[in-house]
Structure 1
Amino acid sequence: MILHSIETFSVAVPLTKPFKTALRTVTLAESIFVKVITEDGYVGWGEAPPTHVITGDSLGSIEFAVDQVIGPQLLGLDLRHPERVFQKLHRSMVGNTSAKAAIDMALHDLLGQLAGLPLVTLLGGYRDTIETDFTVSVNDAIEMADDAAGYVANGFNVLKIKVGIDDIAKDVERIRAIREKIGYDTKLRLDANQGWEAKEAVRAIGQMEDAGLDIELIEQPVKAQDIEGLQHVTLHTHTPIMADESIFSPKDALRVLQIRAADLINIKLMKAGGIYKALKINALAESYGVECMTGSMIETKLGISAAAHFAASQPNVTRFDFDAPLLLAEDIVEGGVIYDGRHIRFSTKPGLGIHTALMNQRLQGKE
């Protein structure tokens, strides 16, 4: 299975509603699709969205990294020796984790095809189905409560609430309004996207605990590089704290785990550089007794399919944040994982289960 060529395609899909967090507002999901072709005609697929405020990657930088830097170094390598290929991928250039992730996805898609197995089975096969949460964007308290009620009515029993965009007292007000609207049968996860300072985070979380708002976890309350602040919040609150933007690499994860700066870790392929490194981060976390969630950026079903195959294969990944394709006005991916409300199941086709012929037709129609 010699790597013969790598192609990139730029795609864009509108969201049904603006997606607002403490870091940005998104109305259009843009991505680079990557297609890796072997000499014997196999095709693997991957995706990389530009998430400037987290990974620093843009559409232009992703495309350039794949086409001009990483891709040429991989051509001619034999995927029957995957460790050599993945080592080459991650040594090809500094940073550019999204570009690496897209190629990594395509390579894993090919490995599944080479083995004749769905990728989830090849990686471990721990689960056959998983369930995703649904994200409530930051808005005023009434709108967020109404949105939350709508998602619950549609069958979602775990909601991820975005906070951290303005005054912390307003965040507490938002959570109170949501609880008053939907009650306590639905799990709530909060994601501050680095929007709080450590001491104010402790104060706000304490207020929510005292009010009995029943929060499952708080994700990334402080700035990504403020590991000491993250540790302070973890040590001074009862609610579990999850590290997200603080962890890109296994080295980042080790630092957080060694000082127990967080109770949980959110692994995203765009931060890790793909499944190869994500597996290492998860193994490290598991060795420390720390469970992981797998989430995503604003991605199409292509990138989510790769993340879901990884997440479902690993027993230590216990939470899933894969609602991004449900936020889009159109599904442009042929094949991949299958959604039934909050439930996600996997195709029996090898690899990621992408229909290459149909994908080629669709992408050619967008050019």
Structure 2
Amino acid sequence: MIIKDLQVKYRNIPLLVPFKTALRTAVDIDSIEVEIMLDNGIVGLGAAAPTVVITGDSTESIMSALAGPIKKALVGLDLKQFQTTLKRVRLCCIGNTSAKAAADMALHDAYSKWLNVPLHAFLGGSKRIQTSMTIGVDTPEKMAWDAEKSVEAGFHLLKIKVGAHPEMDIVRIESIREAVPAGTMLRLDANQAWSPKQAVKLLNEMEKRNLGIELVEQPVAAHDWEGLKYVTEHVGLPVMADESVFSAKDALQLVSGRYADLINIKLMKCGGIAEAWKIASVAEANGVKCMVGSMMEPSLSVAAAAHFAAAHPNIHYMDLDAPLWLSEEPDHLTYDGEDVLLSGRAGIGLV
């Protein structure tokens, strides 16, 4: 079980349509894929995608970290010392959470392949996974049309991107509410775009209009923890921290101070499954429920997140629709409407 080599590959994958948020518009993604080769022939697979405006990781920095300090830290180690290898990835360099996530999932893939079990079974669970479908920020008419088509495709949870031109956000949500069945649940994601007072005003007005909103993600700037707490304390809707939480240490601070009601965990932010598990457990110990989400990523990394979501008991929400935006068919997992179906093969699993 000696790690003999680590190889890094790059692909660019166009999106079917542009993906628009308050932070950026994406038309394609860079997929950085890693292979970890063991001396017994097992190959562990992982992947990452850069989202510079959130993680600070670029394509170049991810590839450099994987081919440099991460490879140096891993080659020659015995993967039977599994926790040691995960720790070596975490400590080999500062930051670079996306690169670490790719290596972490490749190690998890290889180890569960050695055990000949699906990754979620190795992690200890197999709950049903239902994802929301994201509605990118746009004109009210376009967003209502996108929402209607998503419901027709079998999605009953819609994640609505807001925040670009906040003065239009109530009209956007009302247009969507009118276009979809009453039972459709809406989740809002402002991607840091509102000020604290602006967020409170908008959310309280939306709640007064009974628009069927389940929760709101990251209403204020990632660094503005006091602003996040202000919103949490002044609105009735559950507030979810996303870009504010990168690590278990962040999660501990957040739950201790009750800065938000919920936490969104993403592998690209936290550096992989090992840290994600700690975040979810810290939150669970303090009565805070978690979501597993993703950036705009390849299906391999989203599948790894889905295995984690299926296993950890404190994952109550899932946002794993990114592969459906890509111009290539999803691999490693399949979709049946809003249901995300994991492969029964060993590791992350090829369908």
TM-score interval w.r.t. the shorter chain? over 0.9
Q: Deviations over 1:328-366 (max 9, x none)?
A: 111274xx12222211122121111138xxxxxxxxxxx
Aligned counterpart, 1:363:
none
State the shift of 1:87 in Å.
Answer: 1.1
CA gap of 1:179–1:332, structure 2 versus 1, over 3 A, is closer
**1:207-356 maps to which residues of 2 (within 5 A)?**
207-331=205-329, 333=331, 336-354=332-350
For 2:7 and 2:182, locate their aligned partners in 1 and report how far apart those are by CA, in whole Å: 48
Counterpart AA for 1:278? A
- Preserved contact between residue 19 and residue 136 of structure 2 (Cα < 8 Å): yes
For 1:268 and 1:348, locate their aligned partners in 2 and report how far apart those are by CA, in whole Å: 23
Instruction: Specify every segment of 5 or more residues in structure 2 that has no aligned partner in the other structure, as ranges.
Output: none
Counterpart AA for 1:261? Y
Counterpart AA for 2:171? E
Counterpart AA for 1:339? Y
For 1:218 and 1:278, locate their aligned partners in 2 and report how far apart those are by CA, in whole Å: 21
- Preserved contact between residue 220 and residue 243 of structure 1 (Cα < 8 Å): yes
Counterpart AA for 1:184? A
For 2:330 and 2:216, locate their aligned partners in 1 and report how far apart those are by CA, in whole Å: 32
Secondary structure at 1:53 match in 2? helix
For 1:283 and 1:111, locate their aligned partners in 2 and report how far apart those are by CA, in whole Å: 22
Q: Deviations over 1:281-328 (max 9, x none)?
A: 000000011110000011111011100000010121011111000011
Runs (4+) of structure 1 exceeding 4 A deviation are: none
Counterpart AA for 2:216? I
TM-score (norm 1): 0.94
For 2:42 and 2:350, locate their aligned partners in 1 and report how far apart those are by CA, in whole Å: 12
Q: Deviations over 1:130-187 (max 9, x none)?
A: 1111000000001000110010011100000000112x22011100110011142101
Q: Deviations over 1:105-138 (max 9, x none)?
A: 00000111121110101101141x3111100000
Matched-pair identity in %: 49
State the shift of 1:202 in Å.
Answer: 0.3
- Preserved contact between residue 248 and residue 272 of structure 1 (Cα < 8 Å): yes
Counterpart AA for 2:14? P
Matched, 1:68 2:68: yes
Q: Deviations over 1:181-217 (max 9, x none)?
A: 1142101000000000101100000000111112100
Aligned counterpart, 1:94:
94
- Number of matched pairs: 351
Aligned counterpart, 2:151:
152
TM-score (norm 2): 0.98
Aligned counterpart, 2:50:
50
For 2:349 and 2:96, locate their aligned partners in 1 and report how far apart those are by CA, in whole Å: 26
For 1:125 and 1:258, locate their aligned partners in 2 and report how far apart those are by CA, in whole Å: 27
For 2:328 and 2:347, locate their aligned partners in 1 and report how far apart those are by CA, in whole Å: 23
For 1:120 and 1:269, locate their aligned partners in 2 and report how far apart those are by CA, in whole Å: 15
Secondary structure at 2:53 match in 1? coil
- Preserved contact between residue 343 and residue 350 of structure 2 (Cα < 8 Å): no
Alignment RMSD, CA only? 1.0
State the shift of 1:234 in Å.
Answer: 0.4
Aligned counterpart, 1:186:
184
Aligned counterpart, 1:165:
164
For 2:167 and 2:210, locate their aligned partners in 1 and report how far apart those are by CA, in whole Å: 16
For 2:63 and 2:327, locate their aligned partners in 1 and report how far apart those are by CA, in whole Å: 24
State the shift of 1:260 in Å.
Answer: 0.7
Counterpart AA for 1:262? A
- Preserved contact between residue 45 and residue 354 of structure 1 (Cα < 8 Å): no
Aligned counterpart, 2:104:
104
- Preserved contact between residue 300 and residue 331 of structure 1 (Cα < 8 Å): no
Q: Deviations over 1:56-96 (max 9, x none)?
A: 01111100000012111110011111111111111100000
Aligned counterpart, 1:361:
none
For 2:279 and 2:227, locate their aligned partners in 1 and report how far apart those are by CA, in whole Å: 21
For 2:9 and 2:68, locate their aligned partners in 1 and report how far apart those are by CA, in whole Å: 14
Counterpart AA for 2:319? D
For 1:61 and 1:22, locate their aligned partners in 2 and report how far apart those are by CA, in whole Å: 24
Secondary structure at 1:130 match in 2? coil
